[in-house]
Amino acid sequence: MLKTYLAPAKINLCLHVLGKRADGYHELAMLMQRISLYDRIGLRLSSKPGITIRCAGLDLQPNQENIAARAARALLDAAGVKSGVEIEIDKQIPVAAGLGGGSSNAATVLMGLNEMLGLGLGNQALRKIAVILGADVPFFIFGRPAWATGIGDVLEEVVGLPRVWYVLVNPGIAVSTAWVYGNLRLTSPRPDLKIPRFSGAPQEAVAVLHNDLERVTIPRHPQIGEVKEVLLAAGASGALMSGSGSSVFGVFTNQADALRAAQSPGLKRDWKVFVVQPVQGVGTISV
């Protein structure tokens, strides 16, 4: 039987690059939040060993696996389970867009298979598997707004974030995260930042908006800066590029203003526009 789960996207309300580590990774401090834009992940257990994956538009070479398939294999190996798994992905989250779609898919596969196989692995155990797959994957298992440090894998819950609405715009540009970090020039090491505190006031979401990667991505892709300008002109109280780009979100205090802004004539026809809000709750979202 096929069981379907929703894999949410994420945005970075702030992204600070503190310095470069000896292992080549960057030390980060980020505020991350899941949003109500989802890929649909279908999982089916099979008596035939092996992992098969189907996704419209996904072109995998022979013996090549994407991150969702690697997640399934990692969980089966860790649990010593010989079942086969069929994965069907309906992609709605833009790819290479700063929204963590691949990482969310991997986390959803881990949590979904844990549930379907009755393995009983807790959040911490799943996150230990997840970090091997990618730095953002543990966040989606953590399942709450988080202050992420280290390479993004050290997570602390953030409470009191305001219940705002976001207009999310993707201009159709694929941005390489590796290229962005490879071209980031750090002037000097920065001290650790403290976890922000919130009381739920909408303006607090705008006050923290910051992304060090904009200074690399926007000069290379000026359309991202154009999206920010359009969202601010449409009434957003703040706008920011998410992750390494290319998606941009604008902050709105209510749904009506967000829906109105999503119809702004300044938004180009070939841009993808979504009106979303924060995702609540922990664990898998099954449908």
- Residue 42 to residue 91: CA distance in whole angstroms: 11
Nearest Cα residue to 234 out of 264, 206, 274:
264
Contact 211, 14 (CB under 8 A): yes
Contact 35, 231 (CB under 8 A): no
Q: Rounded to whole angstroms, what are the CA distances from 275 to 3, 91, 166, 198?
A: 27, 17, 6, 23
Percent helix, strand, coil in the chain, to 5, is: 30, 30, 40
Catalytic residue among 39, 136, 153, 212: 136
| Helix, strand, or coil (residue 192) | coil
Active site residue 136: yes
Nearest Cα residue to 204 out of 251, 157, 270, 241:
251
Active site residue 10: yes
Active site residues: 10, 136
